[in-house]
Chain A
């Protein structure tokens, strides 16, 4: 069974702060890991993904995530947040086959105080 855990339901930061949003997973076999962002009242938007290679992957708008096999983690980071980064962030796991599904974490709400 593939599970995704986001331990922080809510993280508040100030504009200009750095932030790390945590994601841990359990799985059997090879997987894709990804992050999505959901602004209030909108659909989810794809941020970045990891399958293999360099464990640090870059996404849009200055976001990056780092894969750690030993920790079973895929944490999302940003060096300096902007108020427009205020959103809910979802970590997701899917097997590497083409006909695959996404299993989402519960999401982390990130309000950025101007």
Chain B
């Protein structure tokens, strides 16, 4: 069954540490997205990609990098994690932006 999976599902990191969140999709979609979800802010787009080798800045890219090494995989990288990056992160894939399929989320806590 086509799906979007994320790892890890939960992560505790220390301030200043490096965090990598991984996403894999078997939908064969070209587009992939990283969002964060915070109470009071809804979902906000961090980075997205049109295909392997491409990454684009979303609405809140500061403090985050992204990597799309293949059609299936899209990673979000926090080089120097800060407590303000404590959030739930969702990955999604889609053929176009208007119909997206989401992973289960990663809960990140930065202490």
Contact = CB atoms under 8 A, between A and B. Distances in A.
A97 B98 CA distance: 9
Interface in A11-58: 32, 34, 36, 41-46, 49, 51
A96 B90 contact: no
Interface of A: 32, 34, 36, 41-46, 49, 51, 90, 92, 94-102, 104-107
A101 B105 contact: no
B98 A43 contact: no
A49 B99 contact: yes
B99 A34 contact: yes
Contacts, number: 65
A104 B58 CA distance: 13
Given A42-B105, A43-B103, A96 B98 contact: yes
6 contacts: A43-B102, A45-B102, A101-B59, A101-B97, A104-B42, A105-B42
Given A104-B42, A107-B42, A43 B97 contact: no
Contacts of A99: 31, 50, 96-97
B104 A43 contact: yes
Interface string B89-111: 01010011111111111000000
B32 to A, nearest CB: 12
A49 B98 contact: yes
A76 to B, nearest CB: 16
Nearest to A102: B97
Interface in B55-111: 58-59, 90, 92, 95-105
Contacts of A46: 99-101
B103 to A, nearest CB: 5
A100 B96 contact: yes
B102 A44 contact: yes
Given A94-B97, A99-B50, A99-B97, A43 B43 contact: no
User: Would you list the 3 A-B pairs with minimal beta carbon distance, nearest first?
Assistant: A100-B97, A32-B98, A43-B102
